[in-house]
Amino acid sequence: MQYHATRTMGFSGIILVSALFGFLHIGNLTVLDVLLAGGVGFIFSVVVRKTGSLYGVSISHGVINIVLFLIAPYYL
């Protein structure tokens, strides 16, 4: 999705895809979660655009999910 968005819209495509990434996390029920997910989505989008690879972003997303859903609940 980002590939086509940035090809047709340039940097605005990154912002659009980041906003969509944040919006898809609306199930977390707080505006702050959506904004944070959108910010992380923006960083991920820039990394993918600079590196041309999804591997690092995919691994990062997996690590974040493991920490948030499997490790953090035991400490909070």
30: left (phi over 0), alpha (psi -120 to 50) or beta: beta
- Full residue range of the structural domain in which residue 34 is found: 2-74
Q: Give pLDDT, residue 28.
A: 63
Q: At what angle do helices 2-9 and 31-51 cross, to 10 degrees?
A: 80
pLDDT tens by residue, the chain, 76 residues: 888 988 999 989 999 998 888 888 787 678 888 888 889 889 999 999 999 999 999 999 999 989 988 999 888 7
Residue 34 CA to residue 12 CA, distance in Å, equals 19
Residue 68 CA to residue 42 CA, distance in Å, equals 19
> Is the CB of residue 7 less than 8 Å from the CB of residue 13?
yes
Domain total of the chain: 1
